[in-house]
Amino acid sequence: MVTLRDVTAENWRDCIRLSLHDHQVGYVASNVATIAESKFNPHFHLRAIYTDDLQVGLLAYCHEDDPEDLQLFWIFRLMIDRNHQGNGYGADAMRLAIDEIKKLSAT
């Protein structure tokens, strides 16, 4: 079962160890950059993607901030580790993220 969890002091190192296939590098910002960027943008929501207790990816979303719109959200990062792609984890994570975003009053 796929779940989304906060990126924390306990799991961020696992998050930065996730990797892409060589041909995918450059299409998605690194997880290190995404985590670092979130420290300067408090409206960013970082979510580690797990299947059971195994971290398999990273997802990040935020509300629009230029101009600020608390009902308009966008998902700006989605990555699944190369060893776990093709299992539907990305699709499941997107559904879970959309459910979370709806609870934040997104329209």
71-87: per-residue pLDDT in tens?
A: 999 999 999 999 999 99
Q: What is the mean pLDDT of residues 7-14?
A: 97
- The angle subtended at Cα 98 by Cα 22 and Cα 2, nearest 5°, is 60
Q: Which domain holds residue 84?
A: 2-103
Residues near 52 by beta carbon (within 8 Å), at least 6 away in sequence: 1
Cα 51–54–59 angle (5° rounding)?
65
Say how far apart CA 52 and CA 27 lie, in whole Å: 27
CATH number at residue 28: 3.40.630.30
Number of domains composing the chain: 1
> CA-CA distance, 90 to 79, in Å (whole number)?
7
Residue of higher predicted confidence among 80 and 68: 80
